[in-house]
Structure 1
Amino acid sequence: AVSCPVPDEMKKDVDMQRPARWVCEWIRANYTHMKPRIVYNVNYPEEKGVSIDATFPDVRYTYQGTRRYHDQYAVLSEDGSERTIQLKTLQLDHLRSDHSDFEAIMENCISVTPLSTYTTHISELKEWFHRTLNESA
């Protein structure tokens, strides 16, 4: 799974070649380490004015961040057991947490989060942390 933040006004002008190339290179380099039944969620940061051959952003292996919704609703009508409501305002934010995908993206890094059915696959994340430390030593 790959996502790249793209502002609405830029959607028609966005070139996905760099994120696609990075994903292909990452899979080739790490294929033997990847496990079945785990989704590797990749968040690729927005890049403005970067040449196609520029160095890729740093990579971080991350926990799944927690999104918070602060929505407000208005009751339009109420009749006994039925209530009609309308979304008034939509506000999104996230819980600050070290080593999360939100933190990586805000620092313009690529995040890779191993996911299981419900949340971050912790043992797989620890293996990637360990592997990364050994490769950089």
Structure 2
Amino acid sequence: MAIQFQKMCFTTPFLLNQCGVQPREPFQFSPNANPNSFSTMSPIKEIEMHFPINQTLSNSQVGKLVDLWANVFAADWNYKIALSTYLYLTQLPTTPTYESINPNTTAGSKLLKIWDDLVASKAAWQFHESQGFFIRKTK
């Protein structure tokens, strides 16, 4: 028997004002961001959350889940930027492995830290994902 899910959409203002989601990227521009820079992510306006049909969530529970998911979303974005920078600076022809990154360079040490952050944020979200929670950006 398949697990049944329910779906809800949430706008960013609702998440920030009613659910306690941290006002930060990916939900708004960073105050120091250059809106014309490729490294600035366009703010999320709406998300869709799927969760088991027998589950009831309070606004604060939604906020905590969305914050965990947003950590992965932002960490993945930061990883892509750091990897692009590292590849540009090192002129590597292929994507490096974790072990092949030079930690003695500024770009290498930054990429390793961001990679570690991405792995940690994915691990924190993985438990909830295994319980049937799924979130995606819709707008």
Same fold (TM over 0.5): no
* Structure ranking higher in strand proportion: 1
The structure with higher relative contact order (CA 8 Å, sep 6+) is 2
TM-score (norm 1): 0.28
Which is greater in Rg?
1
TM-score (norm 2): 0.28
* Structure ranking higher in helix proportion: 2
